[in-house]
Structure 1
Amino acid sequence: MTHTEVPGTTGGRIAPLTGWRGDHDYFRFAELDRLDADAVLDVLLGRRLGVVFRGVIDAAASAELVRRFWDSPVRKRRGGEVCESLGYYVGAYHYHKPTDRYLDESAEVAPHLDDLLDVPDEPTRWFRAELDARLRRDGARLRPAEQGGRPACPVLVRHWNAQGAFALQPHEDSSQLGWPEQAGFEIQRTTERVVAAVNMCLENGEGGRLVVWNVVPDLASRTRLGLELSGSPYPVESTAGHDSLWLEVRPGDIYVFNGGHVHGVEASAPGAKRTTMAWNMGFCDDRNVVTWT
């Protein structure tokens, strides 16, 4: 991996982002047809941008999870931060909330998530089990983030339906972890390494690709754009000069990548549905990889 500063521009135009970018060997997705926890660890340790496991989610499990998602009595609508129109979700998200509120919401939705996920071959269970087993070989472990013995929500089940260029606007997942009302919450320590995004595709029509730009914005760029505590949305013009990868996402795929890079999700074709399960994770110290939503 190489460290390169990308020069900005002057005048009235939006200057390109400055920050860290990886070399050719780093900036790629490994593609595998089975889960390999070592490949996930490569992402967590900053050795590779990402990995996609193709077709590893059982089709019957995906269909049942989608059905339960749409039938869930606690399914909610969300929009505004990084999407152009409203989406739906089951779970709890930490974005710009006091820690106690996030953990309260996580506890409230927990039994409903348990019911939704009570499906044979449900993928979050075996993914977590295999990654935890791999980490334990090195004396570490995987667990939900917690505070005062109260765990974070383990997964968001979500659907976005924007009709613009992006279903999720260009953003990154690190800046929001600096939210002052979450001071002391252990997820804030994960920014010292890699904040990884985990996504499991249950359904997806035409479009809906993941795009990742080869830049982890520095504080100067984030502050100049007023995004130092949100990480979203980045003007597309600010990614000028940075290489990008466009990843086709298919039902049954699991993909994990460094969420500190600016990334977005292409809008799906009209009438298509894109439903995923997702969380973030990272090392908060040498022995604990914590997860949150």
Structure 2
Amino acid sequence: MAYIFGSTSLMKSKGIVHPDSYFKIVEKNKIDWQLWIDVLQGKVAGAIFRDVFNQELRQQVCYNFWNSLTLKQQTDGLPPSVKALLGTSLEVITTNPLEVYFEEVKRTRKDIQSLFANTGDFFVFLIDNINEHLAAQGCSLRLAEYNGLKTGEYKMRSWGNTGTFVVAPHDDAGILGSPRMKDFEIGHLLNGRTVGVNICIENGEGGNLCYWNISPNDETRKALGFENDGFGYSLEYLANFDEVSVSIFPGDIYLFDTAKVHAIGRKTKDEENRLTVSWSMGLLNPTTFLYWG
């Protein structure tokens, strides 16, 4: 269920505040491919498809994850909020050259491609269906590239509480402005808009998606003390904008405009796993969509 909380005051902000007709997470009890495309095309902020990845397949993905040879855990230097990681995240380029990301992609690609083994490859099913529906509209979907190198397809993480949140308020657009992204396709997305896609594999109580109706720009991030890292939004600042809180359950697939500030709320019991498979999508040009892990 989604709840909308009204803003407490008005404040001039450099960025985009959308009307209510856009700022919503549309719920469905099955995968609606056209709705998925509507989110990609910027017609609505987000969508959630309830209980569309069954328990037997989720258990298989969990087994594959925890038994992966390239699984990283806290002792491998992960951020405090990440208990375990398979794959890699673009967040590594905030402190490392882009080549470090692609080295990790190469190191983990085989295990990543084995994550959905014995599930009928649910991820391929999703990508093939999106591609088919985009093709009917004269569009295509492919992995993002950098100098001929393909990105990772997705990543899977086990999350832990860090203070008030599992993942603190942030946006995914700031990193696209990093100088390191200059020659990378995803540094040139139309309108700098990204869509995050998540499959919830496990989740206990709590761990809601918290979502605010503000897409900050570079000027805002700089004024708040950060630029190419989207983390740093205070709750005091965010109180000026409408918020949606969405409960997330195992088997749900949810996707949303991640240029807007978002967070994952605190889990009631930190010992309960919050496991998600995630990737991002965006529009390179009017007919070419990209995805990356």
TM-score calculated relative to the size of structure 1: 0.89
Q: Map of 1:115-126 to 2, 5 A cutoff?
A: 115-126=114-125
Shift of 1:119: 2.4
1:291 corresponds to: 291
C-alpha deviations, 1:184-208, integer Å up to 9, x for none?
1000112525210000000100000
Is the 1:174–1:191 contact (alpha carbons within 8 Å) kept by the matching residues of 2? no
Q: Map of 1:89-108 to 2, 5 A cutoff?
A: 89-95=85-91, 96=93, 97-108=96-107
Is the 2:201–2:250 contact (alpha carbons within 8 Å) kept by the matching residues of 1? yes
Q: Map of 1:92-241 to 2, 5 A cutoff?
A: 92-95=88-91, 96=93, 97-190=96-189, 192-241=191-240
Is the 2:46–2:254 contact (alpha carbons within 8 Å) kept by the matching residues of 1? yes
Instruction: Please tell me the residue identity of whatever aligns with 1:66.
Output: C
Question: Is there any run of 5+ residues in structure 2 with no aligned partner, and where?
Answer: 1-9
Shift of 1:177: 1.2
Shift of 1:230: 0.5
2:255 corresponds to: 256
Shift of 1:287: 2.3
1:54 corresponds to: 50
Instruction: Please tell me the residue identity of whatever aligns with 2:206.
Output: G
Is the 2:205–2:267 contact (alpha carbons within 8 Å) kept by the matching residues of 1? yes
Instruction: Please tell me the residue identity of whatever aligns with 1:143.
Output: R
| Alpha-carbon distance change, 41 to 60 in structure 1, aligned in 2, over 3 angstroms | same
Residue among 36, 39, 54 paired with 1:43? 39
SS in 2 for 1:116: coil
**Cα distance in 2 between the residues matched to 1:150 and 1:86:** 26
Identical-pair percentage: 28
C-alpha deviations, 1:256-292, integer Å up to 9, x for none?
1000000000121222211000011100112221112
SS in 1 for 2:249: coil
| Alpha-carbon distance change, 213 to 84 in structure 1, aligned in 2, over 3 angstroms | farther
**Cα distance in 1 between the residues matched to 2:114 and 2:285:** 32
SS in 1 for 2:226: coil
**Cα distance in 2 between the residues matched to 1:209 and 1:220:** 29
C-alpha deviations, 1:11-36, integer Å up to 9, x for none?
xxxxxx54211111111111111112
Stretch moving more, 254-263 or 95-104: 95-104
Stretch moving more, 83-92 or 62-71: 83-92
1:274 corresponds to: 274
Instruction: Please tell me the residue identity of whatever aligns with 2:42.
Output: G
SS in 2 for 1:251: coil
SS in 1 for 2:189: helix
TM-score calculated relative to the size of structure 2: 0.89
Aligned positions, number? 278
Question: Is there any run of 5+ residues in structure 1 with no aligned partner, and where?
Answer: 1-5, 9-16
Is the 1:198–1:279 contact (alpha carbons within 8 Å) kept by the matching residues of 2? yes
SS in 1 for 2:114: helix
| Alpha-carbon distance change, 213 to 73 in structure 1, aligned in 2, over 3 angstroms | same
**Cα distance in 1 between the residues matched to 2:162 and 2:221:** 27
Is the 1:204–1:251 contact (alpha carbons within 8 Å) kept by the matching residues of 2? yes
Shift of 1:78: 6.2
Is the 1:144–1:291 contact (alpha carbons within 8 Å) kept by the matching residues of 2? yes
Shift of 1:126: 1.3
**Cα distance in 1 between the residues matched to 2:49 and 2:279:** 16
**Cα distance in 2 between the residues matched to 1:34 and 1:138:** 22
Shift of 1:93: 1.4
Q: Return structure 1 stretches of 4+ with deviation > 6 angstroms.
A: none
| Alpha-carbon distance change, 175 to 191 in structure 1, aligned in 2, over 3 angstroms | farther
Stretch moving more, 242-251 or 83-92: 83-92
Q: Does 1:87 align with 2:83?
A: yes
Shift of 1:100: 2.6
SS in 2 for 1:187: helix
